[in-house]
Structure 1
Amino acid sequence: MSGTGAPVGFIGLGMMGLPMARSLLRRGRSLVACDSSEAARAALAEGAVRFAATPAGVADAAEVIVLMLPDSRVVAQVMEGEGGLLPALRAGQLVIDMGSSLPGETRRLAALAAARGAMLVDAPVSGSVVKAKAGTLAIMTGGEDAAWAKAEPVLRDMGETLIRTGAVGSAHAMKALNNYVYAAGLLATAEALRMAEAMQLDLAVFADVLNASSGRNIATETKVKQEILPGRYQGGFQLGLMRKDLETAGAIAAETGFDAKALQLCRALWGEAVAALGPKADNTEIHRFLGAGR
């Protein structure tokens, strides 16, 4: 148990945030939480949790504040909007943005926090809801040594593998680029399965060939036999979130001036899938989309 008397602030109790907050509770921590959803608040209504009406209320009560929010727009609203965190931050406080935000926005907000004597680090996660529930997420962290020293004990109560990535914003950049590589691998896997199906190949055997050969990737190992071939399509990551990460990767390409043609194609195809199936469809349903008479 790593419990401490100092409460941790937690803002954002969604699909990933709720199990992450529960992981902190299991490790003996108390929480001051905030979420606009009454259902989300009710799901976390436990003895070691109290709720603040606004993000500023969380800042009043906690030295370390975790954000698990959908995107940079919502992060900016929580930080700078009415009742936001930023005006309430005190010297020495730490904000940990664990969502998938735009690196440039992360750097901007970190500078605003630093002007108040506070710190902001990016610490996006890799792993499904299952890993969030188990407290075994991989967590990338960008920030200076002092911020890392304050963040590490809290992060270890939610994650199994912690990787320091460099300056603020670097973790959000690496997360987006990692998810681009994953999206490209899953897309290629789904296309290959559709071609193998058209040739009347044994798809289970083809999956074995992929996993024993150079085509092996995380999608072939954890999605083909588990989710795609049985038609379950419950991999635990939404199409809309995949598109968002690809758009972040696109913003990185624009910032760096790199002409990422494969990324452009990937973004277009995932965008078509979201338009056809909706943002809440599972990411493995890219396979279903490719078989829908395109």
Structure 2
Amino acid sequence: MLKLGFVGLGMMGLPMLENLAGARDVAILAHDRDPARLDRLKSHPAWGVTLRPAARLADLADCTVVITMLPNSAVTNAVIEGRADEPGLAALLPRGATLIDMGSSNPAETLRLAPLLREAGVTLIDAPVSGAVAKAANGTLAIMAGGDAADLERVRPVLSHMGATLIHTGAVGSAHAMKALNNYVYAAGLFAASEAMLIAQAMDLDADIFTQVLNASSGRNVATETKLAQFIVPRTFNGGFALALMAKDLRTADSLQQLSGMPAPLLSLCASTWGQAQEALPATADNTEIYRYLEAQRDAA
């Protein structure tokens, strides 16, 4: 039976782990710095059988595979490289282990960590996900994975419990880069759809009909299809992905301009606007509330 560690039980990590815990051939140790996040797992059928808590990172020292699902590179780096009061996974895991970073980390940091882990005999795979909480809950996430093809094949059965689509993106670091760029393209679509909707409403155009027009025409994108009628027009703004996380992903994508040497003014605009929205809106704001921010900017003009 595969012994697996899972670190990070946030909005995405917890449902992902719940699906993974349904696997019969995996024994899981779950760790989060906030022990309260493990409470929901106590009702899982695998709890106390093949799913157990890990109070410390050191409890994962004999795991063959460890998955991290953490909010940013700073937290991920601390877990991998360690803190003053706690050794990290690089020092703890046995040689031959595989570490899968499923968070939306900065690809530059992924490229820095890969050789450090390699020296410790640990393989790093970057495997960020797309699909938000709903798809995390039903196990249908899209997973992008960077690393050696043979390494990916070894962990494919594990990843298949959490996602319906697995795309090998190339070398380690490539998945984190593609995830950041993917989120930029989504954010640009949401930005454009929000501005267009605000203009339409200022002209007393019917919002529902305008949404239908967009989705039947060349303006269609994932934001018009899954965000306008569902969360923006009814003003519920509960799409399930935090605006702060989108702002972080856009900062990551924005940093790729320097890494690649390719200027991208629209990307800079999106990153700047989401950063301003993050400062202006509550910390709990949903990513669809970029509409509210743009609306407030219009009203203040």
Shift of residue 27, structure 1, vs aligned partner: 2.6
Shift of residue 84, structure 1, vs aligned partner: 1.2
2:9 corresponds in structure 1 to 13
2:257 corresponds in structure 1 to 253
Q: Does 1:111 align with 2:111?
A: no
Moved more, 145-154 or 175-184: 145-154
Q: Does 1:69 align with 2:73?
A: no
1:90 corresponds in structure 2 to 94
Question: What amino acid sits opposite 2:2 in the alignment?
Answer: A
1:56 corresponds in structure 2 to 58
Q: Does 1:35 align with 2:39?
A: no
- Secondary structure of 1:32's aligned partner: strand
Shift of residue 37, structure 1, vs aligned partner: 0.6
Gapped runs of 5+ residues in structure 2? none
Question: What amino acid sits opposite 1:267 in the alignment?
Answer: A
CA distance in 2, matches of 1:149, 1:51: 27
Q: Is residue 149–residue 168 contact of structure 2 (8 Å, CA) maintained in 1?
A: no
- CA RMSD between the two structures: 1.1
Question: What amino acid sits opposite 1:19 in the alignment?
Answer: P
1:44 corresponds in structure 2 to 41
Q: Is residue 10–residue 66 contact of structure 1 (8 Å, CA) maintained in 2?
A: yes
Q: Is residue 142–residue 171 contact of structure 1 (8 Å, CA) maintained in 2?
A: yes
Question: What amino acid sits opposite 2:199 in the alignment?
Answer: M
Aligned residues: 289
- Secondary structure of 2:9's aligned partner: coil
Matched ranges for 1:228-243 at <5 A: 228-243=232-247
CA distance in 1, matches of 2:27, 2:236: 37
Shift of residue 213, structure 1, vs aligned partner: 0.6
- Secondary structure of 1:7's aligned partner: strand
Q: Deviations over 1:111-136 (max 9, x none)?
A: 11111222011000000111101011
Matched ranges for 1:129-140 at <5 A: 129-140=133-144
Runs of 4+ in structure 1 over 3 Å off:
none
Shift of residue 146, structure 1, vs aligned partner: 2.7
CA distance in 1, matches of 2:36, 2:127: 26
Q: Is residue 95–residue 119 contact of structure 1 (8 Å, CA) maintained in 2?
A: yes
Structure 1 length-normalised TM: 0.95
Shift of residue 30, structure 1, vs aligned partner: 2.5
Q: Deviations over 1:186-234 (max 9, x none)?
A: 0100000000000000111110110011100000001111111111111
CA distance in 1, matches of 2:57, 2:80: 8
CA distance in 2, matches of 1:148, 1:38: 31
Shift of residue 109, structure 1, vs aligned partner: 1.2
1:275 corresponds in structure 2 to 279
- Secondary structure of 1:173's aligned partner: helix
Q: Is residue 13–residue 69 contact of structure 2 (8 Å, CA) maintained in 1?
A: yes
Moved more, 162-171 or 32-41: 32-41
Structure 2 length-normalised TM: 0.93
Gapped runs of 5+ residues in structure 1? none
% identity of equivalent residues? 53
Q: Deviations over 1:235-294 (max 9, x none)?
A: 111100000000000111111122211111111111111111133200111111111224
- Secondary structure of 1:62's aligned partner: coil
- Secondary structure of 1:101's aligned partner: coil
- Corresponding residue to 2:104 among 84, 100, 119: 100
Closer/same/farther in 2, CA of residues 50 and 97 from structure 1, 3 Å limit: same
Q: Is residue 11–residue 68 contact of structure 1 (8 Å, CA) maintained in 2?
A: yes
CA distance in 2, matches of 1:251, 1:284: 23
1:145 corresponds in structure 2 to 149
Shift of residue 68, structure 1, vs aligned partner: 0.2
1:172 corresponds in structure 2 to 176
Moved more, 115-124 or 23-32: 23-32
